[in-house]
A and B are shown apart, each in its own frame.
Chain A
Amino acid sequence: MAELQRDPISRAQFLMMGIVGSLVGAVLTIPPAVYVLSPTIQTNFQGRSDIPDEWIEAGSVWEIPSGAPMEFRVEFSQKQTYDAGQPGAEEEPSPEGVPPNVGTAINTVLVSWRDGKLPGVLEDNRGTQTLSASEVEELSRRINVLSNHCAHLGCPTRWQAEKGLIVCPCHGGEYDINGHYRAGPPPHGLFRFAYEIREDGGLYVKHDFTNGRPWVV
């Protein structure tokens, strides 16, 4: 302490230097930091998806059984945050047809019928592969198209046939067949994909959710 007290700078001067230095440092560093981090801020904090807004076929409604959800794997293309516009970045699709600067996000979609009951439309039209507009509307009302990521911390949930519930292996969250919250730490039910059913029975999903976004902080 004795050495410090002999320092020619007084405490007030030291504090003033610290405050002014902090202000100057903040002015110099915050704008470039925000500029560099803006893609991440936009996707992770402002919720803008870096996955193109397009319909991807998940499967067919004819495959979905009664009493249990069906798992479909869907691969969305995903634009990489920092790749585009960099010097040397590819501008043409690869020989395999993969668009430039695009990765993929593989999602598992749990699809079930409301309360596990097969809609009458499907029972009547088994084998008929074309659906009328009213039948599509009826099926759209009766279907659950769920993200399998737990609404708590995002672990992959799965159907537990013995319990008749969708369970999370990480922290024991439980959901019913409709994806509604039953027990455990999750704050709400499973996230629901935006979806559409087409005349041929094809089920299409978008990387968009009707009850919040699973990946946004």
Chain B
Amino acid sequence: MTDFPAISISYLVLQKLEFPSIEFPYLGTRGLVGIVMLIHIFFATLFVGYAIGSPLLQAWSVRTGNPRFERLAHSMARFNLLTFSLGATWAVMFLVVLVGLYPRVASGLFTHFFWFFPVMAMASMLLTLWLFYFHYYRAKNRALPKNIAAGLAAAFFIWIWQVILTGIDTFMVTGGGPGNPAVPRGTGVSDIGSAFDSLISPMWLTLNIHRTFANLSWPAFAVAAWAAFMYARSKKAEDKAFYDWAGSMGVIWGTVFLLLQPFAGFFIALTLKNLDYQAGELSAPGASGPYDRLVGSGAESTFTSNLLWINLLMVVGLFVLSNVAMYLGAGRHPDRVGRVPIRFFGLLAAVAGLYSISPMAEWPFLYMRYIMIAVMVLATAGTLVAYVRARGRFRYGSPGGWHRAALLALGILAAVVTLNMGFMKSNSRAPYTIYGDDSYRVQSENPVGPGELRPENAPKP
């Protein structure tokens, strides 16, 4: 007991309330790290998308003479400037919880990837910020060529950041292998060659392609949702026309990159499957490779495979909603040109998509699910072509309520898909996620041997 009665009493009250211990129950230490990271990712993905989008739209504005591109580019850059510190704060929070809860892993990664993360990636980030501020503020001075060049350079450097961070991220899932050189002893720093070997782990290329497309697709759907929202708030006809136009742009841009995503995702799964040193060697009861855990091999679903299933449902939802949004958006054409082919392609995409997630997706043969997903993608491409062809004569300024509802739903669904994809990817590493960090008392979750796996991954009787 202490000499201060108030402290003693409050401590006793807290004990009586039986608060959970400080080991982050419900969430778990992994859950805490994951949630902090996901909040960061929400802003970070938008930043990457708009850093790339802003100078490109500005260049397009110069080329076409359409001031709406310039206005949208400025809005994107402004969003990045306003939200960068928020996203960065969550990145710092992430590092704090990572270093605090997993000191060994954090220091292992920092020393192994020293030349890439603390040096090259941070240098890229500094260059990104400097160039992006230049890009934003010089826009007001109409120094367009330099301004566009600075924006494109900023986009390049933030993409380099993404490439390096994805390398470290994928090292945790598919990195290493017997052929990888040993990391230095003690606190030594790995040389660049050894770190690069680890950086370009098997999943690195495919995940980078997937993330690059994703960072261009979901921010565009976010633009569409934002435009639908802002339309309702705007009073002037000019603003209404701009937001209607921006919604249309968001759908086109988002759908173009969405079309590529199923293929990139398929190749990620293929890479995981071909990962020889993990797939064949984890024959111990209850253990399996990342691919098995991802797809739920052996007719046993895992938490990660359930996430994959949910993601597939939502991806089909994204495709169907894109078709719906383009069908309703084609009503802007005075003669409603484009609606007939869009109706055909949209229905085909919806039927194929629903088939691919139905229980009979593997009938009449095993690969029917993949074929149906491919049909859905091709049909959506048909819708996109019909929509873009009709777009030349669109009259902007009075979109229907259903159209705006579809845009809002698209933006929200795209955000959920993005975050759930990250959640799923990190879970493909489970249960090997707590790296023997004994200083933190999480023994119940710490797989110290084949018999000490998490309950959900334990072999079923």
Chain A residues at the B interface, C-beta cutoff of 8 Å: 43-44, 50, 71, 73, 78, 80, 86-88, 103-108, 148-150, 152-156, 158, 160, 163, 167, 169-174, 181-188, 214-217
How distant is A215 from chain B, measured CB to nearest CB, in Å?
A: 5
In the complex the two chains form, what is the Cα distance from A153 to B179 in whole Å? 17
Is B443 within 8 A of A155, CB to CB? no
Name B282's contact: one of A73, A148, A169 (CB within 8 Å).
Answer: A169
Is B452 within 8 A of A106, CB to CB? yes
Is B182 within 8 A of A149, CB to CB? no
Is B8 within 8 A of A80, CB to CB? no
B278: nearest chain-A partner, CB-CB: A169
Is B182 within 8 A of A181, CB to CB? yes
Contact with A along B379-417 (1 / 0, CB 8 A): 000000000000000000000000000000000000000
In the complex the two chains form, what is the Cα distance from A172 to B176 in whole Å? 6
Name B432's contact: one of A43, A170, A173 (CB within 8 Å).
Answer: A170
Contact with A along B284-300 (1 / 0, CB 8 A): 10010000000000000
- List chain B residues, Cβ under 8 A from A50: 439
Is A148 within 8 A of B449, CB to CB? yes
Name B182's contact: one of A71, A106, A108, A184 (CB within 8 Å).
Answer: A184
Binds A, one of B60-68, B70-78, B103-111: B103-111
Number of A-B contacts (CB under 8 A): 136
In the complex the two chains form, what is the Cα distance from A182 to B447 in whole Å? 23
In the complex the two chains form, what is the Cα distance from A174 to B179 in whole Å? 10
Is B448 within 8 A of A171, CB to CB? no
How distant is A17 from chain B, measured CB to nearest CB, in Å?
A: 22
- List chain A residues, Cβ under 8 A from B443: 103-106
Chain B CB within 10 Å — which of A50, A149, A169, A186 has the most? A169
Is B198 within 8 A of A106, CB to CB? no
- List chain B residues, Cβ under 8 A from A156: 432, 436, 447-450, 452
B219 within 8 A of A: no
Can you report 27 A-B residue pairs in the complex whose CB atoms are below 8 A from each other? A44-B439, A73-B451, A78-B438, A86-B11, A87-B7, A107-B438, A153-B104, A154-B105, A154-B435, A154-B436, A156-B436, A156-B448, A156-B452, A160-B281, A163-B281, A169-B282, A170-B432, A171-B176, A172-B177, A172-B178, A184-B179, A184-B180, A185-B183, A186-B182, A187-B183, A187-B184, A188-B185
B351 within 8 A of A: no
B171: nearest chain-A partner, CB-CB: A171
Is B178 within 8 A of A152, CB to CB? no
Is B175 within 8 A of A171, CB to CB? yes
In the complex the two chains form, what is the Cα distance from A80 to B441 in whole Å? 8
- List chain B residues, Cβ under 8 A from A155: 432, 435-436
B255 within 8 A of A: no
B119 within 8 A of A: no
Q: A88-B8, A153-B108 are in contact. List 15 more A-B contacts (CB 8 A).
A: A44-B103, A87-B8, A88-B15, A106-B446, A106-B452, A149-B436, A150-B436, A154-B436, A171-B176, A173-B176, A174-B178, A183-B178, A184-B179, A185-B182, A215-B104
- Asked, given contacts A158-B449, A167-B281, A187-B182, whether A215 binds B176 with beta carbons under 8 Å apart, the answer is no
- Asked, given contacts A106-B452, A187-B184, whether A171 binds B436 with beta carbons under 8 Å apart, the answer is no
Is A172 within 8 A of B277, CB to CB? yes
B126 within 8 A of A: no
In the complex the two chains form, what is the Cα distance from A206 to B71 in whole Å? 68
- List chain A residues, Cβ under 8 A from B1: 87-88
- List chain A residues, Cβ under 8 A from B15: 88
How distant is B145 from chain A, measured CB to nearest CB, in Å?
A: 23
B12 within 8 A of A: yes
Is A108 within 8 A of B448, CB to CB? yes
How distant is B29 from chain A, measured CB to nearest CB, in Å?
A: 14
Contact with A along B242-258 (1 / 0, CB 8 A): 00000000000000000
B181 within 8 A of A: yes
In the complex the two chains form, what is the Cα distance from A86 to B89 in whole Å? 33
Is B449 within 8 A of A108, CB to CB? yes
In the complex the two chains form, what is the Cα distance from A155 to B173 in whole Å? 12
- List chain B residues, Cβ under 8 A from A88: 1, 8, 11-12, 15
Is A217 within 8 A of B441, CB to CB? no
- Asked, given contacts A171-B176, A172-B178, whether A148 binds B448 with beta carbons under 8 Å apart, the answer is yes
Contacting residues of chain B (254-283) with chain A, CB-CB under 8 angstroms: 277-278, 281-282
- Asked, given contacts A87-B11, A106-B446, whether A153 binds B278 with beta carbons under 8 Å apart, the answer is no
In the complex the two chains form, what is the Cα distance from A181 to B436 in whole Å? 19
Name B438's contact: one of A183, A186, A215 (CB within 8 Å).
Answer: A215
In the complex the two chains form, what is the Cα distance from A44 to B1 in whole Å? 28
Name A153's contact: one of B8, B186, B435 (CB within 8 Å).
Answer: B435
In the complex the two chains form, what is the Cα distance from A156 to B286 in whole Å? 13
- Asked, given contacts A88-B15, A105-B443, A185-B182, whether A214 binds B449 with beta carbons under 8 Å apart, the answer is no
Is A154 within 8 A of B104, CB to CB? yes
Contacting residues of chain B (1-35) with chain A, CB-CB under 8 angstroms: 1-2, 7-8, 11-12, 15
In the complex the two chains form, what is the Cα distance from A216 to B438 in whole Å? 10
How distant is A190 from chain B, measured CB to nearest CB, in Å?
A: 12
Name B176's contact: one of A71, A87, A184 (CB within 8 Å).
Answer: A184
